[in-house]
Structure 1
Amino acid sequence: MNAVLNISAYKFVPLADAPALRERLLERATALDLKGTVLLAGEGINLFVAGAEAAVRDFVATLRADPRLADLAPKESWSATQPFRRMLVKVKREIIRMDQPQIRPDFSHDGGRAPAVPAATVRRWLDAGRDDDGRPVVTLDTRNAFEVDCGAFDGAIDWRLGKFSDFPAALAAHRAELEGKTVVSYCTGGIRCEKAALLMRAAGLAHVYQLEGGILKYFEETGGAHFHGDCFVFDEREALASDLNARRG
């Protein structure tokens, strides 16, 4: 029986009080016997947490009680066992490292994030091979190479990244390949393709979007059409199939 609720979520929003917020969240998560990782930075929050359903929902309510996180919308999956070994809440320079300080998404105001395309639209575009304006559509994987090897969209562009901070150099080397196309960047849950899409827009590529909610949301809403293999996850489940159940582990 899958009795452990797993959630993942992120939000780019200014958090000037990240150290103090760390103490409050660690205390609450520990009291609820949750395990996982919460990353905090001046640019926002990124989290992967698991535990009993009531405890997880209590923790989400705690997060949403902060007005800056009131609209946090975690993605959910279930597992038979706890996939994390301990509870960590860390303050970092970036919640996802890109080493491009000028790329700073901000969900707190209109225009502060990358344009996003919902899963159903991406599936429709991939069915047709073109977007609604007739422009060729390509998917661009912003994950590390070993994650791509676990599963990816059919025909996805894969720059064999060793780490996400390699993405800016890869874009500089391959930018010409993307000209004249509609580019849908994607990753596991949305955080990497959020920054990647903004960087591509800053580089002058006009028709760039991110897959809203990443692969996990795409699995939830489409069943994984046009995706082969599984989605690698950074916990003891190792990978999730298109039904969001653990394939291994």
Structure 2
Amino acid sequence: MQSGAILNISCYLFVSLADTHALRERLHTRAEALGLKGTVLLAEEGINLFLAGPAPAVRTWVDELRADARFASLTPKESWSDSQPFQRLKVKVKHEIIRMNRPTVRPDQAPRAPALPPATLARWLDQGHDDEGREVVMLDTRNGFEVDHGAFDGAIDWRLHKFSDFPEALAAHREELLGKTVVSYCTGGIRCEKAAMVLEAEGLHAWQLDGGILKYFEDTGGKHYHGGCFVFDERESLAPDLRPVS
């Protein structure tokens, strides 16, 4: 349900991009002309973005981006706010759209790790196991301070300081995950998608939560989740109804 005058979108897509600098100029020019603010990150492995503005302007920008066949499958998650939560517009070219410092982990060049729909996860958590009877463990791939705002009930939290700490933390805790169904999750899906690839490479039975916490909120209302979801803008944290936490 809409509540507020400003449409906020977030989404990412792992897709190979060879023209990041030219793309940066084009996307920045159009976003600036439409009065949008937020951050767009581009890398050879794809795009990651958080933008906000009047709904017609945001949707025009997204429609123009999707006209490029590489981005046709983008599915932004939407929420609303009374005011603009970003101070400025930034469109940047980076080495990775989410930094892991593992050059061999390239989601744009490999099959996608299994993605678990939010409704299926809610059902598994209701019944206490997956459809094959295995124990389900939720693995939070966010930074520790984000977890402090809210998390899935009983989730594993390795108190990461940054996402690039994840592989080392996994190496230290891998044995604890053996024989279980591991569901990695994060805010919008980008970190848990990379994390699920690493979990699979370590021989674990792993899924990523498709669309992350924000999609889970949208589809399920936040069952089995306590607190809010930290977001990197002036709203700070969103409740399961996708409104800013008071």
State the TM-score, normalizing by the size of structure 1: 0.97
3-state SS of the aligned residue for 1:171? helix
Instruction: Determine the C-alpha separation between the residues in 1 that align with 2:209 and 2:165.
Output: 20
Structure 1 residue aligned with 2:108: 106
3-state SS of the aligned residue for 1:25? helix
3-state SS of the aligned residue for 2:28? helix
3-state SS of the aligned residue for 1:106? helix
Structure 2 residue aligned with 1:198: 197
Please, which runs of 5 or more residues in structure 2 have no aligned partner? none
Q: Which of 63, 66, 82 lines up with 2:65 in the alignment?
A: 63
Q: Deviations over 1:3-43 (max 9, x none)?
A: 10000000000001000000000000000000000000000
Structure 1 residue aligned with 2:50: 48
Instruction: Determine the C-alpha separation between the residues in 2 that align with 1:240 and 1:150.
Output: 9
Give me the CA root mean square deviation: 0.9
Q: Which amino acid aligns with 2:9?
A: I
Pairs within 5 Å for 1:225-240: 225-240=223-238
Instruction: Determine the C-alpha separation between the residues in 2 that align with 1:106 and 1:132.
Output: 29
Q: Which amino acid aligns with 1:209?
A: W
Please, which runs of 5 or more residues in structure 1 have no aligned partner? none
1:147 aligns with 2:146: yes
Aligned residues: 244
Q: Which amino acid aligns with 1:55?
A: A
Cα shift at 1:106 = 2.1
State the TM-score, normalizing by the size of structure 2: 0.98
1:124 aligns with 2:126: no
1:188 aligns with 2:187: yes
Q: Which amino acid aligns with 1:227?
A: Y
Instruction: Determine the C-alpha separation between the residues in 1 that align with 2:111 and 2:233.
Output: 30
Cα shift at 1:114 = 1.1
Pairs within 5 Å for 1:8-87: 8-87=10-89
Instruction: Determine the C-alpha separation between the residues in 1 that align with 2:208 and 2:79.
Output: 22
3-state SS of the aligned residue for 1:99? coil
Structure 1 residue aligned with 2:159: 160
Cα shift at 1:119 = 0.3
Q: Which amino acid aligns with 2:121?
A: V
Cα shift at 1:71 = 1.1
